[in-house]
């Protein structure tokens, strides 16, 4: 069994949030190699990578990036993730046996797929299919769901135009996904990194106020992927037993919203 920081910290008693600069626990070493460092916070983008690491059985060490507190702006994190966003990884056993750091969840999924040969087929036609749907997630489902959630749940002002615009977009996007899943079990035929990229946001759809009742194929796909044990483990990776973020807290809002160039 793959040991992760998450599984190994679960038995510990709750305590105050720790600094994000150190791994919570170094996971079991695989063949004398250091585990992959995963810079993580439990959100749909973070889950893409915990799910992939769990699916591939890769040992990893989870390093929380406490985004409500501003860890994403620390110089040591910006050195590996210049867009001040998690997730990011450091693979100490990268190409040529040397360290490599990667940011952007889609690029990380592709890298881990190439590294392990899993969930990212080599055959050009099927690879293109996977990539189309992976990039579709990165450019559509992810960002639009993020904005829809923001205007619906976090905006200081209620802006009906923005709520409607992104609500409509989410409806359109789930419609596209539903049609794609009409005659196939997964987005690119077989289960792949394209599906893995979509799980986090889709699993939150109803909670975020998007009605999936008209999208039977999406619901069937979601039930199938959520039943996979590595998906369950990936979605369960916690940063701290006492984790709670109050999005109404002015300090949290000052960190996360209205960011401008530094």
**Looking at 78, 162, 176, 256, which residue binds ligand GSH (CB under 6 A)?**
256
Choices 18-26, 51-59, 78-86, 112-120; region in contact with ligand GSH by CB under 6 A: 78-86
**Looking at 51, 52, 58, 67, which residue binds ligand GSH (CB under 6 A)?**
67
**Residue 203 interacts with ligand GSH (CB under 6 A)?**
no
**Residue 43 interacts with ligand GSH (CB under 6 A)?**
yes
Shortest CB 87 distance to ligand GSH, Å: 6
Query: Is residue 39 a contact partner of residue 87, using CB atoms and an 8 Å limit?
Result: yes
**250-255: Cβ within 8 A, 24+ apart:** 252/68, 252/69, 253/154, 253/156, 255/67, 255/68, 255/69, 255/70
**Residue 8 interacts with ligand GSH (CB under 6 A)?**
no
**Residue 137 interacts with ligand GSH (CB under 6 A)?**
no
* Tokens read off for 50: 């915990």
**Residue 202 interacts with ligand GSH (CB under 6 A)?**
no
Q: Would you tell me the crossing angle of helices 124-136 and 105-116 to the nearest 10 degrees?
A: 150
Integer angstrom CA distances of residue 158 from 93, 150, 251, 252: 48, 11, 20, 19
Query: Is residue 86 a contact partner of residue 41, using CB atoms and an 8 Å limit?
Result: yes
**Residue 110 interacts with ligand GSH (CB under 6 A)?**
no
The closest of 109, 69, 70, 74 to 88, measured between CA atoms, is 109
**Residue 210 interacts with ligand GSH (CB under 6 A)?**
no
Cα-based angle 132, 138, 141 (whole degrees, multiple of 5): 100
Pick between residue 24 and residue 105 the one whose CB is nearest to ligand GSH. 105
Pick between residue 86 and residue 199 the one whose CB is nearest to ligand GSH. 86
**Looking at 8, 84, 132, 224, which residue binds ligand GSH (CB under 6 A)?**
84
The closest of 95, 246, 127 to 255, measured between CA atoms, is 246
Choices 82-90, 93-101, 174-182, 183-191; region in contact with ligand GSH by CB under 6 A: 82-90
Pick between residue 93 and residue 104 the one whose CB is nearest to ligand GSH. 104
Neighbours of 235 (CB within 10 A): 18
Choices 13-21, 81-89, 114-122, 167-175; region in contact with ligand GSH by CB under 6 A: 81-89
Residues that bind ligand GSH (CB under 6 A): 43, 45, 67, 72, 84-87, 104-105, 256
């Amino acid at each position: 069994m793959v040991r992760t920081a998450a599984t190994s910290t679960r038995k510990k008693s709750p305590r105050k949030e720790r600094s994000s600069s150190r791994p919570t626990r170094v996971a079991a070493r695989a063949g004398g190699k250091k585990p992959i460092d995963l810079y993580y916070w439990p959100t749909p983008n973070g889950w893409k990578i915990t799910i992939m690491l769990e699916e591939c059985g890769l040992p990893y060490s989870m390093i929380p990036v406490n985004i409500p507190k501003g860890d994403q702006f620390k110089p040591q994190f910006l050195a590996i993730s210049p867009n001040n966003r998690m997730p990011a990884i450091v693979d100490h056993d990268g190409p040529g046996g040397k360290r490599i750091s990667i940011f952007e969840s889609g690029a990380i999924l592709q890298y881990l797929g190439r590294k392990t040969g899993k969930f990212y087929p080599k055959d050009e036609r099927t690879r293109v299919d996977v990539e189309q749907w992976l990039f579709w997630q990165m450019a559509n489902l992810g960002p639009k769901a993020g904005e829809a959630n923001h205007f619906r749940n976090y905006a200081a002002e209620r802006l009906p135009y923005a709520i409607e615009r992104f609500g409509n977009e989410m409806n359109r996007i789930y419609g596209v996904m539903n049609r794609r899943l009409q005659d196939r079990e997964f987005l690119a035929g077989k289960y792949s990194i394209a599906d893995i990229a979509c799980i986090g946001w889709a699993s939150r759809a109803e909670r975020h106020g998007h009605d999936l009742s008209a999208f039977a194929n999406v619901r069937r796909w979601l039930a199938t992927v959520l039943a996979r044990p590595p998906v369950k483990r990936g979605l369960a990776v916690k940063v701290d037993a006492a984790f709670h973020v109050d999005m109404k807290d002015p300090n949290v809002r000052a960190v996360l919203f209205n960011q401008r160039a530094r």
